[in-house]
Structure 1
Amino acid sequence: MPKSNQPADTILRQQLIDLLTSTNAHQPFDAAINDLPAELRHVKPKGVPYSIWQLVDHIRIVQWDILEFSRDASHQSPPWPSGYWPQEAGPADETEWQQALTQIRRDRDAFITLLNDPQRDLYEPFEHGEGQNLLREALLIADHTAYHIGEIIIIRRLLNAWGN
């Protein structure tokens, strides 16, 4: 196979972006929540400790925290675990649901902007934290989100609300 003319750093950045946005080995976030009936957002199937809303809001909070940690040395993370999980089983209304979805997409795009910045070294440890770097944080967002997307899909299957 011929070698790419692109520098390895550019290829890696694009692969990380694809991991955050595409359907490589998992469903993307938007597919997991697409056409979800509003009345199912708060339902906790038997044996499942959380609702789809709680998973969606957890994804939102964690991704926001990772984004802010990656771009702001003075960022203070919420307390674990209480600051990362919503207490309410469902959103207060359609507006809260849509705001959460919008923030997930906006924060993902903001993180992609960091990945696209050639001045940001993927491997250089942040001046703050415990050795984390942009590459690690990109992988963390992708891994964490994919894990919870799988849970959303399982809950949808348990609620007979997944078409596949």
Structure 2
Amino acid sequence: MSSEHEIIVNEIIKLLRGGSTHIGLKDALDGLPAHARGDKSVKLPYSIWQLVEHIRISQWDMLQFCLDANHKSPKWPDEYWPKEAAPADDKAWEDALKQIDDDLEQFIRLFQEEDIYKEIPHGNGQSLLREALQIADHTSYHISEIIVIRRLQDNYR
């Protein structure tokens, strides 16, 4: 691997995990009270739970697209957004966060091992590099919303 390629891969992995100028999901959720997960009192369209689930579903979909030519994406937008404002219980919350972490690490392994510039054969011009940038951009956008909601709830640092 050339040093330029290694620099790009390492910087994008840092971006995916929430490094440098981006706060990661774990930091954005650190100290979040359980009762605030489904709070919609701030009159924004989504609760923190709905944003977390949307991140989970979207990232899972992008990962599966990269791995499986037969993958069927959820129906947009209905199946990308949970209807419930709050998780069913603590286990649902923890399971969602675990899947986000696990899927991200699986994507990162793929990103480290494969040609990041090669078009995904069953796609329309997508590559692992494009999917990595999309995951990072999408997740950071919604992390920002989580932070805004937490600030409006007065429970963020």
Are 2:104 and 1:108 equivalent residues in the alignment? Answer: yes
Calculate the aligned-residue CA RMSD, in Å: 1.2
| Alignment match, 2:86 | 90
Matched residue type, 2:54: H
For structure 1, list consecutive stretches of 5 or more residues without a partner in the other structure.
none
Contact 2:150–2:156 (Cα < 8 Å) also in 1: yes
TM-score by length of 1: 0.92
Question: How many residues matched?
Answer: 157
Q: After TM superposition, give the deviation of residue 116 of structure 1 in Å.
A: 1.2
Are 2:149 and 1:149 equivalent residues in the alignment? Answer: no
Identical aligned pairs, as a percentage? 50
Aligned partner of residue 148 in structure 2, secondary structure: helix
**Deviation string, structure 1 residues 119-141 (Cα, Å, up to 9, x no partner):** x2111111112110000000000
| Alignment match, 2:122 | 128
| Alignment match, 2:68 | 72
Matched residue type, 1:46: V
**Deviation string, structure 1 residues 54-86 (Cα, Å, up to 9, x no partner):** 000000000000001011111110000011000
Contact 2:53–2:81 (Cα < 8 Å) also in 1: yes
Larger mean CA deviation between 36-45 and 138-147 belongs to 36-45
CA distance in 1, matches of 2:22, 2:108: 19
More helix by share: 2
| Alignment match, 1:7 | 3
4+ runs deviating over 6 angstroms: none
CA distance in 2, matches of 1:25, 1:134: 22
CA distance in 1, matches of 2:44, 2:148: 10
Contact 2:42–2:153 (Cα < 8 Å) also in 1: no
Q: After TM superposition, give the deviation of residue 46 of structure 1 in Å.
A: 3.3
| Alignment match, 1:45 | 41
**Deviation string, structure 1 residues 69-119 (Cα, Å, up to 9, x no partner):** 0111111100000110000000000000000000000000000101110xx
TM-score by length of 2: 0.96
| Alignment match, 2:51 | 55
